Amino acid sequence: MKGRTIVLDHLHGREAAALLADGKLDDLLIDDDSAPRPGTIFRAVTDRGMKGQGGMILRLPGGQTAWLRNASGLKSGDTMLVQVTSVAEKGKAVPVTDRLLFKSRFAIVTPGAPGLNVSRQIRDEEERARLLDLAHGEMDEDGPFGLILRSSCEGASEEEIADDIRAMLDLAAKVMAETTGAPELLAEGDGPHLLAWREWSAPTVVTKPGGFAREGVLDQIDALRGPEADLGEAHIYVEATRSLVAVDVNTGGDTSPAAALKANLAAARALPRQLRLRGLGGQIVVDFVSMSKGHRKQLEQSLRDSFRTDPIETSLVGWTAMGLFELSRKRERTATAHLLGDD
């Protein structure tokens, strides 16, 4: 199957979405109903500050707790609106921010951050002008909300974009008015099907039940149960521990002088996809095949190129004294192995 295809289905009773590129699984979203989804908005009540950590514990509905970084000027008992930023690690408070975003396919509404902006990925000046004119027509520039028009707006109809802006403005107005009262869930974060509509684009979308089986998605998900991935020029092993994700790179049977560099470059190209499909984030340590220090810059450039288009925020930290490469990746998803019942 050539081209990109989105498949919407369910996996073990959980809503799930898969993105295929030429028949190969490129991204995978599986719902986790055991924790608040990223993007969920709560009215929370401040509980206690954590001295030395610069943050505060908040109370959420149902006895849950949240962790707000860089909390200042708050006292116990204050009411505030917060949004879940990432998946909570087991036994830890839910990470939240007080800078809310209302994000849809075409528009992001930004309370408290006025201004009209168009994604820098849209470079055509006529298209940028068209979108700014549309934004000016929909937004009250003296109002409390700002607007970012996303790259997906390029070439989209004005009616679709305008409808999206209005829907996000309406939701933002309703939520931002809920400033008093007990802890309460105000808006659910998007599930896999809505996220797929919001973040992915493809000419073919399969929605009929059983699509994962018909399109070969199930077999590719099964391959994620083990740590090994055969890249042809290399084998990598991706294993998660409680503290970090360890990635080991091997050359396999290639014994040529260029084997190390070829294996490492192949691993660098594949790493974003492997982490994405496995739902892994946090601290990541890669043990590349030993090579000359002169080749490190070439490998670093390959890593930067590979992660540049990855949708999950990742920082390339650099080399350790022992020759390992460190990365830090936002925990936007629950580990796939956990959702498949493999851990």
* pLDDT, tens digit, 9 for 90 and up, residues 163-213: 999 999 999 999 999 999 999 999 999 999 999 999 999 999 999 999 999
Higher pLDDT, 74 or 125: 125
Mean pLDDT of the chain: 93
What pLDDT was estimated at residue 51? Answer: 67
Q: 225: how many CB neighbours lie within 10 A of its CB?
A: 12
Report the number of secondary-structure helices (H) and strands (E) in the chain.
8, 20
What pLDDT was estimated at residue 290? Answer: 92
Whether residues 148 and 79 share a domain: the answer is no
What pLDDT was estimated at residue 253? Answer: 75
Mean pLDDT of 317-337: 94
Say how many domains are in the chain: 4
**Reported pTM:** 0.90
Whether residues 202 and 175 share a domain: the answer is no
The continuous run of DSSP H or E covering 109 comes out as strand 107-111
Low-confidence winner among 17-26, 234-243, 252-261, 303-312 (lowest mean pLDDT):
252-261
User: Is residue 71 pLDDT above 80, yes or no?
Assistant: no
pLDDT by residue (tens digit) across 229-274?
A: 999 889 999 999 989 999 999 997 777 878 999 999 999 999 999 9
Q: Which of 131, 272, 105, 274 is nearest to 200 (CA)?
A: 105
Query: Is residue 293 assigned to a domain?
Result: yes
Query: Is residue 199 assigned to a domain?
Result: yes
Whether residues 45 and 149 share a domain: the answer is no
For residue 55, the enclosing domain spans 41-99
Whether residues 85 and 138 share a domain: the answer is no
Whether residues 327 and 254 share a domain: the answer is yes
Whether residues 200 and 270 share a domain: the answer is no
What pLDDT was estimated at residue 186? Answer: 97
Whether residues 255 and 316 share a domain: the answer is yes
Query: Is residue 36 assigned to a domain?
Result: no
User: Is residue 343 pLDDT above 90, yes or no?
Assistant: no
User: Is residue 54 pLDDT above 80, yes or no?
Assistant: no
Indicate the pLDDT class of residue 52, thresholds 50, 70 and 90.
low
Whether residues 241 and 169 share a domain: the answer is no
What radius of gyration, in Å, describes the C-alpha atoms of the chain? 22
Mean pLDDT of 143-150: 95
Indicate the pLDDT class of residue 1, thresholds 50, 70 and 90.
low
Query: What CATH code is carried by the domain that includes residue 46?
Result: 2.40.50
User: Is residue 74 pLDDT above 90, yes or no?
Assistant: no
What pLDDT was estimated at residue 53? Answer: 66
Whether residues 26 and 92 share a domain: the answer is no
Whether residues 17 and 67 share a domain: the answer is no
Query: Is residue 173 assigned to a domain?
Result: yes
How far is it, in rounded angstroms, from Cα 217 to Cα 277?
12
What order do you get walking across the sheet with 235-240 strand by strand? 228-230, 235-240, 245-250, 282-287, 325-329, 314-319
What pLDDT was estimated at residue 157? Answer: 96
